[in-house]
Structure 1
Amino acid sequence: MADKPNTFLGVNVINGFTWPRHVLDDTPEKLQSFQIRDDDVFVLTYPKSGTNWARELVRNIVCEGNKEKVKEDYESNPPGQLEFADNWKKYDNFSREKPRIMMSHVPVDVLPKQIFEGKGKVLFVMRNPKDIAVSFWNFKKDRKLLEDEKWDTFFEAYLRSDNIYIYLLSVLYGNWLDFNLSYYEHHRNKKNFLFLTYEEMKLDHKGCVIRISDFLSRPLSEENVEKVVQNTSFSNMKVKNPISFQMKGEIRTFPLLRKGVVGDWKTRFTVAQNERFDAIYNQRMEGSALAKQIIFET
């Protein structure tokens, strides 16, 4: 194993946990006491698990597939994750005329406490960790956010579960296993949580639209279901969701979505890396109900 895995440029370590630099020192504590409204919808994921796609599914369902209403909601909602900068304050002042749709990657001990009391609803999306690794690496490499852009170096850091020290900060928001297991094992049967996988959303897009709309108590007509499916197709989403980064004084725009396929890990994982990963994964997932939900190829 490499002595010093690559470093993600721009991070903030708060109480030993690795956050993006946009997260302020007091944000985790503030979020725990964030006041929840009954119609709040949280789109919660580990990074690179289909967060923006899931949020657009929710937004389109709330707007019944009406493109003008979707556009209005997109423009009025604060950008980025709930935990970034002062976004939580912006949401606190958000209009009560429509639901707040908030996306976040916060671990279970930072999520607002009122959610565990049954207030609001949480759409929790999981994706297989091999595809996440490749997606995360490409995301950072393309945006020049790594000191060392080699896949092998990133892979070594991704395997680590003790992502505490500054020289191990190539994986934000902790370890995939810790993050997902802590939510799924303890909250999968809660009425205000719906757990889906990215792979389910790819294989049965329409079925997941219906499941989410039922979960949100916002049933859709067949016509509106089709509108939502069309609006949130991968091809439409990729065109509509660019993101800008300032790099060396130059503003560059990248698509938020890249390939959107299941099994892309095969393009990077060597046989040896796959065997090492499987050994760790299978050991940690033994006896877990989550193991049956995660698929690595279709």
Structure 2
Amino acid sequence: MITRFAPSPTGPLHLGHAYSALLAFDAAMAAGGTFHLRIDDLDHTRSRPAWEAQLKDDLRWLGIDWPEPCRRESDHMSEYDAALDRLWQMGLLYPCTCTRRDIREAVSAPQEGAPIHGPDGLIYPGTCRANRPFETIFAGAHPRPRDVTLRLDMQMAMGHRDLFRRQIDETGSHDLAEFTETGAGPTGQTGLVTFTPDDMIETVGDVVLARKDFGASYHLAVVVDDAAQGVTHVIRGQDLFEATKIHVLLQRLLKLPTPEYHHHALIRDDQGKRLAKRDDARAIATYREDGAAPQDIRAMVGI
């Protein structure tokens, strides 16, 4: 068993982080496996060395350790570029110049019953896809543009000739893909979770895989990272359950293994709101300063 915890060094770790990290660490140790710490520092505008040093100190204080050096995403841009190049050559990416305001205005009057939000935020209305130059469909003959936002053409991905063949031949199923969930999704989904092309087109849309300022997006980086580190079990919060279908799709497109997933309940405040890094009162460092012991933190999160 190989698990991981991948925080962003953009603020202090709170009780929710501790819960996720401890679950992943305990699971790996119980199985005689390996736990990896990964630093998600793609957002260079907000990431700070001081926050990275503090999160490592907090995790070690909790009794968590990991092989060094830990993987820092900013050191692996060439791997993300290679994955983007492969998807570009398959004709599955297109440049997007829409701002967040453009997208909000475009979806302000959606068709009746159409979903507005997906796992990547507002479902992209396809503005730049509709204006996509024809030659980008045959992108292998053209270099991938750099320093631009690139979206996955979900409709093109759903029609990719290799995506369904094995499942259709062996099972007659038209499900896009499947993953094993040993925890539970927000509405109790567990066991074998499947999803279809219609699910991806209608409830996910054309997600961003490369950002103009940061290079790879979270969805692409996490898939490449998990494969590079041989992660067998992904343990993370239920807020990322719906994003898993994006990750499984990318794994299939890039011919990477699919781990087993375990989505756990979120740690919430007294009003039922999930914790965020701005909740300094629940930061691990604050509890440490107040004299708490690591076992106290475990008790607070129900471990």
Q: Shared fold by TM > 0.5?
A: no
TM-score, length of structure 1 as denominator length: 0.24
- Structure with the bigger percentage of helix: 1
